[in-house]
Amino acid sequence: MKRTAKLLYLSPMYKISRVLLLLIWWIVAVSLSFGQVPPKAASTTSATSRPSQSGTIQSGTIQSGPMVGYSEMREVMLWVQTKQPARVQIRYYEPGNPTQARLTNEVRTEAKTAFTAHLLADQVEPGKKYAYDVLIEGRKASLPYPTQFQTQNLWQWRTDPPAFRFGVGSCTYVNEPAVDRPGTPYGDGYEIFTALAAQKPDFMLWTGDNTYTREVDWNSRTGVLRRYTHTRSLPEMQPLLAASHNYAIWDDHDYGPNDSDRSYWIKPVTLEAFKLFWANPNFIFDEGCTGTFFWQDCQFFLLDDRTFRAPNEMPDGPEKVYFGQKQLTWLIDALRFSRATFKFIVTGGQVINPVKAFENYSMYGTERDQLLKAIADANIPGVLFITGDRHHTIVHKLDRPGTYPLYDLTISPLTSGPSKPRPDELQQPTFVDGTLVTDRNFGLFSVSGPLKDRVLTIDVYDQKGTKRWNRTIRASELK
């Protein structure tokens, strides 16, 4: 006799008991599905375990973000990471007018991409500000800080370019005692992100070592993705990510091991992680993070100082490449083509500092000479370098006969352990007195003034938000 037929002869009490058991099983299954916890790598612990720096993961369904990525006149990219598979979408609208909201594409996050989602807002107009909500499974996520983005202005042939401000910082270490080296914790001062967000920059420029892979991470995709998740989940970072646009390059620690070069064995994996966790507008090559973007009348050239790099210990000469010929050729061509007022070349290691130490470009003197000569020969105006890596902030200025000086603006570190330059570095003719900061700090760069007389103002703040120094460079000085 079939099972369905047998059920006709069961007693009513048995039937009721069976229904109750099935109901209890369903309740337990649903509870477990909503109670999943993220990977251990998503938890964050500070050196002191103070509540404000506890680094515990965000509550709710969101693991990290939302983050505002690149901005253009016709589209803006947004990003979010969930704790488990979920349908994610962004609803955006002009402030005060939520009835006219638009929706991005919907993404279902998956474990194979670390539950990350890139969401495109492509129904926008130039020169507008928008508020936005994160929708998880169709429901608005409650966030305790503002969520907003902006599109760039169509100013060309119409007005002077608008003024704008951007944050600059490198070297973000977030402690995880279980896998950190013994001794004094290397990361601290996470409140620097609160100070940065309080300045309300239009965008943030992350100039390398934005996360620190450890020994436990850099031999596997699982380790790399866990490390990126762990750093991105820092609570103090979230308000900055959510309300200012973000652009990034990498240096050795978010690319691979310390001082790593082109020989790093799983660099395609870290490139995949970089693309999963950042939202840059373009990648020039199939390999590496090289790219560019514009903000008003300025252009930013995002260089990769790792993918093509020869070993540090290799003898100097034509074969000892740093950026590599393919990347250098693109850079010089792009600089020649650019009509930007300020042309910011952004890379991890110092370029102008002449001391052949650590990982300065001077250790690759043949290629360095080639780049500086090409800029001079092409008579390209408005070039400045923005660098990081060194765990202190300093400005180097190279005076060049017959043309304008080249500045190298090194801003570092955000939360990693600070360090001091070698004494001989402060004796170099390129060192700009009064610009050395050996505490955790960030830069706030402002571009203002009419198109024919633009001014770059550089303010450096410590982790508490106290201004440490200020400088201005006029575009007319870089011609």
Residue 116: what pLDDT? Answer: 98
pLDDT over 80 (residue 34): no
pLDDT at 5 over 90: no
What's residue 286's pLDDT? 96
* Residue 245 domain-assigned (yes or no): yes
> Model confidence over 237-287: pLDDT tens digits?
999 999 999 999 999 999 999 999 999 999 999 999 999 999 999 999 999
Instruction: With CA atoms as reference, report the closest residue to 117 among 85, 160, 92.
Output: 85
pLDDT of residue 181: 94
Averaged pLDDT for residues 199-219: 98
Same domain (yes/no): 411, 287: yes
Q: Tell me what pLDDT residue 10 has.
A: 32
Which pLDDT value is given to residue 204? 98
Shared domain for 277 and 213, answered yes or no, is yes
What confidence category does residue 27 fall into, taking pLDDT thresholds of 50, 70 and 90?
very low
Mean pLDDT of the region 352-378? 97
**Which CATH number does the domain housing residue 98 bear?**
2.60.40.380
Average pLDDT score over residue span 449-469: 98
Among candidate residues 147, 172, 202, the one where a domain is terminated: 147
Q: Is residue 306 situated within a structural domain?
A: yes
Q: Are 475 and 453 in contact (CB under 8 A)?
A: yes
Q: Are residues 190 and 216 in the same domain?
A: yes
Segment 290-308 shows an average pLDDT of 98
Asked whether residue 87 falls in the same domain as residue 174, the answer is no
Specify the number of domains making up the chain.
2
The reply to whether 142 and 273 lie within a common domain is no
Q: Are residues 264 and 413 in the same domain?
A: yes
384 bridge partner residues: 344
339 and 222 in a common domain: yes
**For residue 264, what pLDDT is reported?**
98
Average pLDDT over residues 361-386: 98
In this prediction, residue 60 carries a pLDDT of: 80
Q: Is residue 107 part of a domain?
A: yes
User: Of 114, 147, 180, which one is at a domain's C-terminal end?
Assistant: 147
Give the model's pLDDT for residue 46.
Answer: 33
- Measured CA to CA in angstroms, residue 354 lies from 35, 118, 215 at distances of 56, 41, 32
Q: Is residue 349 domain-shared with residue 409, that is, in the same domain?
A: yes
pLDDT reported for residue 55: 37
Q: Which of 122, 147, 172 is the last residue of a domain?
A: 147
Please report which confidence band the pLDDT of residue 52 belongs to, taking 50, 70 and 90 as the band edges: very low
Q: Within a domain: residue 37?
A: no
Residues 141 and 168 in one domain: no
Chain segment 105-148, per-residue pLDDT in tens: 999 999 999 999 999 999 999 999 999 999 999 999 999 999 99
What per-residue confidence (pLDDT) applies to 395? 98
Q: Say if residue 6's pLDDT is above 70.
A: no
Residue 433 φ/ψ, nearest 5 degrees: -60, 140
The whole-number average pLDDT for the span 208-228 is 98
* 455/375 same-domain check: yes
As a whole-number percent, the residues of the chain with pLDDT over 70 amount to: 88
- 131 with 262, same domain: the answer is no
Task: Calculate what percentage of the chain has a pLDDT beyond 90.
Answer: 87
Asked if residue 325 is part of any domain, the answer here is yes
What is the pLDDT, as a whole number, of residue 7?
A: 30
State the CB neighbour count (10 A cutoff) for residue 108. 12
* 376: pLDDT strictly greater than 90: yes
CA distance 4 to 6: 6
Residues 95 and 179 in one domain: no
Domain for residue 30, yes or no? no
Q: Give pTM, 2 decimals.
A: 0.88
3-state secondary structure the chain: CCHHHHHHHCCHHHHHHHHHHHHHHHHHHHHHHHCCCCCHHHCCCCCCCCHHHCCCCCCCCEEEEEEEEEECCCCEEEEEEECCCCEEEEEEECCCCHHHCEECCCEECCHHHCCEEEEEECCCCCCCEEEEEEEECCEECCCCCCCEEECCCCCCCCCCCCCEEEEEECCCCCCCCCCCCCCCCCCCCCCHHHHHHHCCCCEEEEECCCCCCCCCCCCCHHHHHHHHHHHHCCHHHHHHHHHCEEEEECCHHHHCCCCCCCCCCCHHHHHHHHHHHCCCCCCCCCCCCCEEEEECCEEEEECCCCCCCCCCCCCCCCCCCCCCHHHHHHHHHHHHHCCCCCEEEECCCCCCCCCCCCCCHHHHHHHHHHHHHHHHHCCCCCEEEEECCCCCEEEEEECCCCCCCEEEEECCCCCCCCCCCCHHHHHCCCECCCCCECCCEEEEEEEECCHHHCEEEEEEEECCCCEEEEEEEEHHHHC
Average pLDDT over residues 32-46: 35
Q: Which of 21-25, 110-114, 220-224, 402-406 has the lowest mean pLDDT?
A: 21-25
* 5 within some domain: no
Average pLDDT over residues 411-420: 98
pLDDT of residue 307: 98
- State the residue range of the domain holding 70: 62-76+83-147
Average pLDDT over residues 450-477: 98
Q: Are strands 394-398 and 406-410 parallel, antiparallel or unpaired?
A: antiparallel
For residue 13, tell me if it sits in a domain. Answer: no
Does position 79 have pLDDT exceeding 90, yes or no? yes
Supply the CATH number for residue 314's domain. 3.60.21.70
